[in-house]
């Protein structure tokens, strides 16, 4: 009986298209749904066991992300370790160069992926092309660094096929591309290489329709477990360890 009713309702909606009257509110509904998921997630994960956590703070201070990096690095001894660092969203290289300076191991490798022509789509108030920094701005003499220019969706396939050995080492993956599409794409491409102990940083985690949504869809669809170890700016920046 219940199934017949559901079938009838679905057929009715398909035939009439009546739900289109709510179309102007599509984005709002999506935001409300994802924001509520985010808030529930925060409630569950806002614990004293984190290395650092400033929830709730009324003031966002973007510089605090460097404190998160330092705390995670000290905790996991990432300053001396032979590190494979992969950053998605380099822009002018602020976070990229922080990690490079912090790590003194000559065997480490640092890969920075970016269009270097800005965001490939609008992101909130930022328009497509925002945050463009030419790749020359991020050049360095340190031969441990390699920049991969282009949209991730075009460059990652080749990168993966030529760096399989490196990708199977312990990794720090830094997701700072802001967009849902970019973040979910990168996570799903790197899925086969994820290992217990790999570190994953998100730079805009608490943005409900973007990085948070990518995290949620990825962990639920690929059955990947990650342990939250640190957070700053009300979970805007987060650090996880793959379990
Ligand atoms: C917030 S900025 C990165 C900031 C940087 N990590 C820092 O600390 O200064 C986001 C960057 O992601 C890049 N980006 C987003 N989606 C991308 C994609 N699909 N492919 C390549 N680059 C992308 C944009 O070009 C932009 O430079």
Q: How many domains does the chain have?
A: 2
pLDDT above 90: residue 91: yes
- Tell me whether residue 40 is in a domain: no
In order, the DSSP letters of 167-208 are HTS-EEEEE----HHHHHHHHHHHGGG--TT-EEEESSTT-T
Confidence of residue 139 (pLDDT cuts 50, 70, 90): confident
pLDDT above 80: residue 132: yes
Q: Are residues 93 and 201 in the same domain?
A: yes
Q: Is 176 in the pocket of ligand 1 (CB under 6 A)?
A: yes
- Tell me whether residue 36 is in a domain: no
- Tell me whether residue 41 is in a domain: no
Look over the chain and give the mean of its residue pLDDT values, rounded to a whole number. 96
Q: Distance from the CA of 177 to the center of ligand 1, in angstroms?
A: 4
Q: Are residues 223 and 192 in the same domain?
A: yes
- Tell me whether residue 81 is in a domain: yes
pLDDT above 90: residue 136: no
Domain interval for residue 92: 46-242
Query: Range with the lowest mean pLDDT among 134-138, 157-161, 164-168, 187-191?
Result: 134-138
Q: Distance from the CA of 119 to the center of ligand 1, in angstroms?
A: 6
Q: Are residues 77 and 157 in the same domain?
A: yes
Alpha carbons 56 and 71: distance in angstroms, whole number: 19
Q: Distance from the CA of 113 to the center of ligand 1, in angstroms?
A: 8
Residues 6+ apart with CB under 8 A from 209: 30, 31, 34, 180
Distances (CA, A) of 66 to 94, 95, 167, 234: 10, 8, 25, 15
Domain of residue 189, CATH code:
3.40.50.150
Nearest CA owner, ligand 1 atom 23 = 114
Confidence of residue 1 (pLDDT cuts 50, 70, 90): confident
Please state the separation of Cα 163 from the chain's center in Å: 21
Q: Are residues 16 and 112 in the same domain?
A: no
Among 119, 149, 151, the mutation site with the greatest number of ligand 1 atoms within 8 A of its Cβ is 119
Q: Are residues 146 and 218 in the same domain?
A: yes
Render pLDDT for 28-37 as a digit per residue (tens, 0 to 9): 999 999 999 9
Q: Distance from the CA of 201 to the center of ligand 1, in angstroms?
A: 14
Q: Are residues 26 and 142 in the same domain?
A: no
Closest ligand 1 atom, residue 118 Cα = 25
Nearest CA owner, ligand 1 atom 13 = 89
Question: How confident is the model over 78-92, as a mean pLDDT?
Answer: 97
């Amino acid at each position: 009986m219940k199934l017949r009713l559901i079938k009838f309702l679905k057929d009715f909606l398909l035939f009439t298209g009546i739900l289109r009257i709510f179309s102007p509110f599509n984005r709002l509904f999506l935001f409300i749904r994802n924001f509520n998921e985010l808030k529930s997630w925060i409630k569950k994960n806002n614990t004293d066991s984190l290395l650092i956590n400033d929830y709730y703070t009324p003031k966002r201070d973007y510089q605090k992300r460097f404190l998160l990096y330092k705390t995670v690095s000290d905790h996991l001894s990432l300053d001396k370790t032979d590190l494979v660092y992969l950053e998605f969203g380099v822009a002018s290289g602020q976070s990229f160069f922080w990690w490079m300076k912090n790590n003194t191991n000559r065997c480490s490798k640092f890969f920075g992926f970016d269009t270097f022509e800005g965001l490939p789509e609008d992101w909130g108030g930022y328009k497509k092309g925002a945050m463009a920094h030419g790749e020359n701005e991020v050049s360095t003499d340190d031969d441990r660094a390699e920049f991969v220019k282009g949209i991730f969706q075009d460059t990652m396939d080749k990168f993966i096929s030529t760096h399989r050995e490196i990708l199977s080492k312990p990794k720090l993956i830094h997701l700072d591309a802001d967009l849902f599409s970019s973040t979910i794409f990168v996570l799903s491409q790197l899925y086969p290489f994820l290992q217990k102990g790999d570190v994953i940083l998100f730079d805009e985690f608490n943005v409900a329709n973007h990085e948070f949504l990518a995290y949620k869809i990825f962990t639920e669809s690929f059955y990947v477990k990650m342990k939250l170890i640190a957070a700053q700016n009300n979970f805007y920046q987060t650090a996880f360890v793959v379990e």
